[in-house]
Amino acid sequence: METDRYLDLLKINTELAQRLLVDFIRQEVSRVGLRRAVIGVSGGIDSSVVAYLTAEALGPANVLGLRLPYKTSSQDSLDHAQQVIDALGIAHDSIDITPMVEPLFERFPDMSPTRRGNIMARQRMIVLYDQSAAFDGLVMGTSNKTETLLGYTTLFGDNAAALHPIGDLYKHQVRQLARALGIPAAIIDKPPTADLWPGQTDEGELGTTYDMVDQLLYLLVDRRYTPQEAVDAGFARSFVDRVWETVRRMHFKRRPAPIAKLSQRTIGIDFLYLRDWGT
């Protein structure tokens, strides 16, 4: 199929999206009685977009941006993260996680790159939450809709946050918003990577481009296409089946851990209240 056949369907009103997300951040932070936020600034497009939105919502003085490198982190990532920090004028710090994770890596020398990557992601979140307590701010999530649907996220790592401002934007849409926000082209155009090991890229691990999978996910999720309808729309059967099965298998990452029901009212089943209950 043509890789851009359905990309027009993913176009967003970036001005409206920016206004809605800034209001969302400001409202959700104040709702819990706070006025500050903490964000891990990786030098990638997702964290850059969230940093720009958060600084606009709360003011630069109320945002703490943290660079959290490992010894193999690329210099480009560190430089781009600093570029965002400098452009926004937010409070910042750099904390090397290498001495925090190395003892565990040494204990299990046969550890796979995925295990190592998950440990690094969780260690970064430990630091973010510690600094959120010190800074008195909420931890901002940086996962987008594509990653969340495909489970391309680490439980209690990058998906452990108080808010997920861009969680309903596909990667293609995040790029549109990034351009509208004035984020440097070097950040927008570089291959997306979690920077967990040298040469690692998101699309290399996913086995497809974000533009390709975004088009399919939009039809399956937002338009409620059946897998067969997606095939009829021009996607290869093997690709549709692989993506849709991944979305199904990764659902456990998108929901709180289930609680076994034993009482009349069980949390998450029939004891349900909105986030703003009582405010």
**Residue 243 included in any domain:** no
**Residue 138 included in any domain:** yes
Per-position pLDDT tens, the chain of length 279: 555 889 999 999 999 999 999 999 999 999 999 999 999 999 999 999 999 999 999 999 999 999 999 999 999 999 999 999 999 999 999 999 999 999 999 999 999 999 999 999 999 999 999 999 999 999 999 999 999 999 999 999 999 999 999 999 999 999 999 999 999 999 999 887 766 666 667 677 677 889 999 999 999 999 999 999 999 999 999 999 999 999 999 999 999 899 999 999 998 888 887 666 666
**Residue 147 included in any domain:** yes
pTM value is: 0.92
Hey, what are 69's tokens? 């490198």
- Give the integer Cα–Cα distance in Å for 185 and 190: 8
According to the model, what pLDDT value does residue 208 have? 82
Q: Which amino acid is at 75?
A: Q
**Residue 27 included in any domain:** yes
Q: Produce one character per residue of 30-60: b if its CB has 16 or more CB atoms within 10 Å, e if not.
A: eeeebebbbbbbbbbbbbbbbbbbbbbbbeb
According to the model, what pLDDT value does residue 149 have? 96
**Residue 105 included in any domain:** yes
Give me the CATH number covering residue 156: 3.40.50.620
Strands (E), 14-158: 37-40, 63-67, 91-94, 138-139
Tally the domains of the chain.
1
According to the model, what pLDDT value does residue 196 have? 63
**Residue 238 included in any domain:** no
**Residue 66 included in any domain:** yes
Domain that holds residue 21: 10-194
**Residue 254 included in any domain:** no
